[in-house]
Amino acid sequence: MSKIKLVTFVFLFPFTTSYIMADDNAGKDFNPIQTAIPFLTIAPDARGGGMGDIGAATEPDVFSQYWNPAKYAFAYSKAGVSLSYTPWLAKLVSDIDLVYASGYFKLGNNERTAIGASLRYFSLGKVLLRFDQSDPGIDATPYELAADVSISLKASETFSLAAAFRYIYSDMGAGVVEELDPASAYAADIAGYYNNYVMLGNNECMLGLGFNISNIGSKISYDGGNHQMFLPANLRLGGSLLFPLDDYNTLSLNLDVNKYLVPTPPIVDESNRDAEWAKYNAISPISGIFKSFSDAPGGLKEELQEIFWSAGAEYAYDSKFFVRGGYSHENRNKGVRRYFSLGAGFKLTAFQMDVAYLISTVPSNPLDQTLRFSLSFDMDGLKNLLR
């Protein structure tokens, strides 16, 4: 195995083969979408993570940069910042971590435009690279990061649009492996958000609808362009309904549906392996987005299997105490990521703290018992405290 293939395997292993091991029934129909930089798909905050990885249409918050930056135009506060921490795959190792910082600021007196930004840093800890069975190995400390900015504009009193621009950097061992270069790529998101009041019986409820087409960008390569991989482009659609139970209690019900905008890997045998993969690798990122809706080897049935969904709820008391729960479901032939999540949070005048906990519903899943922690600050609330 070449060095570049080995390092790629070491990196992708926790995100792909772990799910194969999680489902003993995976067989010839197992054909998950394969991308580089999979950390871009990890829900970084505890609020969305506590509802089964949901956020396309939930109430705007400081974490919206990841889920749907168009929501910033409807944020209640003029500005906010946050910091989240996730120990990743903690059942397997102790030194893989995701750190996420985000923030936004609404411009002008009418506050119809908002600027958002975020930084994600993913450390894969210490990795021992071996190039054959007799090799004693070389220690590497791979890491990845993504920095992005967004602008969202309220087009009407009920609808907003946003665009985000992202720089991605990945170092899987440059300086340790001679053939391995740091990799970088650029990507963009296009998002929209609608919210309005609707009457259900005698209750005035808030309806939210949202979409986010994320990680539309170039391919990424670790060897000067000889081998290129797709970014995890994704279409997220979401809906949310917020019920006022009484003057102090509210309940929101939320649903997100996702589909990777990446071509489905071909099913090959030894006779046509090289030719089929050469054709697959020649697909451009933009062509891949359109092909992703109709290229599955199993036809419409497999295309539908590539849609994964999450459903979750959030109960709030006096907009200060929160309890959350959710479920995320992926088809067994596309990765079998299936899990419940629980979450809680409390909010004071200037800050909010949230925590989420993941419970796998399939055996031997290394994502089981994943914890997320988030701390966010409301700049309006902080300003009032300092007066």
Cα atoms in the Cβ-side hemisphere of radius 13 Å centred on 329: 13
* Structure-block tokens of residue 241: 């309904």
- Gap between the Cα atoms of 34 and 289, Å rounded: 14
User: Are the C-beta atoms of 358 and 365 separated by less than 8 Å?
Assistant: no
**Looking at residue 174, what is its pLDDT?**
64
User: Are the C-beta atoms of 173 and 179 separated by less than 8 Å?
Assistant: no
Whether the per-residue pLDDT at 9 is higher than 70: the answer is: no
Mean pLDDT of 358-369: 83
**Looking at residue 58, what is its pLDDT?**
97
Mean pLDDT of 104-125: 92
**Looking at residue 105, what is its pLDDT?**
96
Class of residue 231 by CB neighbours under 10 A (exposed 0-12, middle 13-18, buried 19+): buried
- Gap between the Cα atoms of 329 and 362, Å rounded: 11
Q: In terms of Cα–Cα distance, which of 142, 49, 153, 51 is closest to 100?
A: 49
In percent, the amount of the chain with pLDDT more than 70 equals 88
Q: What is the DSSP letter of 230?
A: -
Backbone angles phi, psi at 132, to 5 degrees: -165, 175
- Structural domains present in the chain: 3-386 (2.40.160.40)
Q: In terms of Cα–Cα distance, which of 283, 370, 298, 385 is closest to 333?
A: 298
pLDDT band at 177 (very low <50, low <70, confident <90, very high): low
Q: In terms of Cα–Cα distance, which of 164, 284, 293 is closest to 235?
A: 293
pLDDT digits (tens, 9 = 90+) for 278-297: 888 889 999 999 999 999 98
* Structure-block tokens of residue 94: 């102790």
Measured CA angle at 68 (ends 304, 107), to 5 deg: 160
Longest Cα separation, the chain: 74
Secondary structure class of 119 (helix, strand, coil): strand
Mean pLDDT of 17-33: 59
pLDDT band at 16 (very low <50, low <70, confident <90, very high): very low
Mean pLDDT of 63-74: 97
- Gap between the Cα atoms of 73 and 68, Å rounded: 11
User: Are the C-beta atoms of 314 and 323 separated by less than 8 Å?
Assistant: yes
**Looking at residue 273, what is its pLDDT?**
79
pLDDT band at 385 (very low <50, low <70, confident <90, very high): low
**Looking at residue 26, what is its pLDDT?**
53
For the chain, what's the residue count?
A: 387
**Looking at residue 161, what is its pLDDT?**
98
Whether the per-residue pLDDT at 170 is higher than 60: the answer is: yes
| pLDDT, mean over the chain | 87
User: Are the C-beta atoms of 346 and 319 separated by less than 8 Å?
Assistant: no
**Looking at residue 138, what is its pLDDT?**
76
Which of 6-10, 28-32, 131-135 comes out lowest in average pLDDT? 6-10
Mean pLDDT of 31-53: 93
pLDDT band at 29 (very low <50, low <70, confident <90, very high): confident
pLDDT digits (tens, 9 = 90+) for 230-276: 999 999 999 999 999 998 999 999 999 999 999 998 887 777 778 88
Please state, in angstroms and as integers, the Cα–Cα distance from residue 184 to each residue in 166, 288, 375, following that order: 11, 19, 29
**Does 149 or 274 have the greater pLDDT score?**
149
**Does 130 or 341 have the greater pLDDT score?**
341
In percent, the amount of the chain with pLDDT more than 90 equals 64
Which of 53-62, 134-143, 230-239 comes out lowest in average pLDDT? 134-143
Strands 203-217 and 183-200 turn out to be: antiparallel
Q: How far apart are the first and last CA of the chain?
A: 64
